[in-house]
Amino acid sequence: MRTVYLNGAYVAEGDATVSIFDRGLLFADAVYEVFSVLDGRIIDHAAHMARLERSLAEMKIAHEVAGAGWDDVLATLIARNALVEGTVYLQVSRGAADRDFLFPAPGTPPTVFAFTQARKLADNPMAERGMRIITRPDRRWGRRDIKTVQLLYASMMKMEAKAAGVDDVWLAEGDVITEGTSQNACIITREGHLVTRDNGQALLPGVTRLSVLDIARESGMTVEERSFTIVEAQGAAEAFVTSASLFVMPVVEIDGLAVGDGLPGVETMALRKAYIERARGAH
Ligand code: PLP
């Protein structure tokens, strides 16, 4: 049984309970982060923390963490659960209060919890075959730059992908792709340029995206942060997604059409390798 963190205490997972009045439950009034762990260490730690602070600030959720802070919570969970490879999930809600659309009185303590999930990340068989994706209209709310737990539409789309026999969905406004259900969408043009949508309120500023763009630039690749269409993606040389748990994952088919030669792209796989090497070496 896992040890999880809840409001300042480390408890057995079965003993961790939150109030039915928690605003995370009633209003999806909560933000979260997912940190990946490789060789027992967190990848892109500082950037995930910065995004968590930003999400909290945008939502105006006041927060304080008991003890030595977030870093200590994560390190303790990794140690107590002997996590070598997997993820740590951390959620902060505005806390529990009688149900009211208005925010509760200042001083209402936020609900903070975190837990580990052991899982293979680096050695993912999907990287060998590549993802097949379909596109669907992006019907999420307009502040997708905040990492809230309001994930129902993404969840519905993942179910739709499963029913269609593919791996995931890329969401689009008109014919312009915003991002994947839980990843950022990237393509490599026939000129070898890496194209991914520019950050803004339409999409989550991915932490992995940031690191991968850095690696690409360092390797001399031209990076274009701009919108691209479904048709441009289908006609690209390569396509891939980035996320904390998938790292860099090749996309080989979009709406039934093969991308490039229908195999994981060479540049994509080089970026995946470089990302994993950097994660392993950067400590
Ligand atoms: N976009 C969405 C909607 C996500 O939910 C996620 C991650 O969960 C990402 C992009 C990728 O972000 P990151 O690389 O920080 O995991």
Asked if 5 contacts 18 with a C-beta cutoff of 8 angstroms, the reply is: no
Number of helices (H) and strands (E) in the chain: give both, helices first: 8, 15
pLDDT in tens, 8-65: 999 999 999 999 999 999 999 999 999 999 999 999 999 999 999 999 999 999 876 6
**Count of structural domains within the chain:** 2
Check whether residue 76 and residue 188 sit in a common domain.
Answer: no
Helix (H), strand (E), coil (C) string for 53-76? HHHHHHHCCCCCCCCCCHHHHHHH
Output the pLDDT for position 183: 98
Check whether residue 196 and residue 252 sit in a common domain.
Answer: yes
Output the pLDDT for position 62: 86
The answer, yes or no, to whether any atom of ligand 1 lies below 6 A from the CB of 36, is no
Q: Which residue's C-alpha comes closest to atom 7 of ligand 1? A: 182
Check whether residue 257 and residue 174 sit in a common domain.
Answer: yes
Tell me the whole-structure pTM to 2 decimals: 0.96
Asked if 134 contacts 169 with a C-beta cutoff of 8 angstroms, the reply is: yes
For residue 210, which atom of ligand 1 is closest to its CA? 14
Q: Which long-range contacts (CB under 8 A, 24 or more apart) does 14-17 make?
A: 16/113, 16/115
pLDDT in tens, 151-204: 999 999 999 999 999 999 999 999 999 999 999 999 999 999 999 999 999 999
How far away, in angstroms, is 105 Cα from ligand 1 center?
Answer: 31
Contacts of 142 (CB under 8 A, 6+ apart): 201, 202
Is 120 a catalytic site residue? no
How far away, in angstroms, is 62 Cα from ligand 1 center?
Answer: 23
Q: What DSSP line would sit under 155-209, residue for residue?
A: HHHHHHHHHTTSSEEEEEETTEEEEESSSEEEEE-TT--EEEPPPSTTS---HHH
pLDDT in tens, 233-272: 999 999 999 999 999 999 999 999 999 999 999 999 999 9
How far away, in angstroms, is 184 Cα from ligand 1 center?
Answer: 6
pLDDT in tens, 196-207: 999 999 999 999
Output the pLDDT for position 63: 76
Residue 69 sits in a domain whose CATH number is 3.30.470.10
Pocket of ligand 1, candidates 173, 183, 212, 249: which has the most ligand atoms within 8 Å of its Cβ, to mutate? 183
66: pLDDT strictly greater than 90? no
pLDDT in tens, 79-138: 999 999 999 999 999 999 999 999 999 999 999 999 999 999 999 999 999 999 999 999
The answer, yes or no, to whether any atom of ligand 1 lies below 6 A from the CB of 252, is no
The answer, yes or no, to whether any atom of ligand 1 lies below 6 A from the CB of 208, is yes
For residue 51, which atom of ligand 1 is closest to its CA? 15
Rounded Cα distance, 6 and 91, in Å: 10
Average pLDDT of the residues in 216-245: 98
Residue 164 sits in a domain whose CATH number is 3.20.10.10
Output the pLDDT for position 186: 99
Output the pLDDT for position 68: 63
Domain assignment of residue 193, given as a range: 126-281
Check whether residue 18 and residue 64 sit in a common domain.
Answer: yes
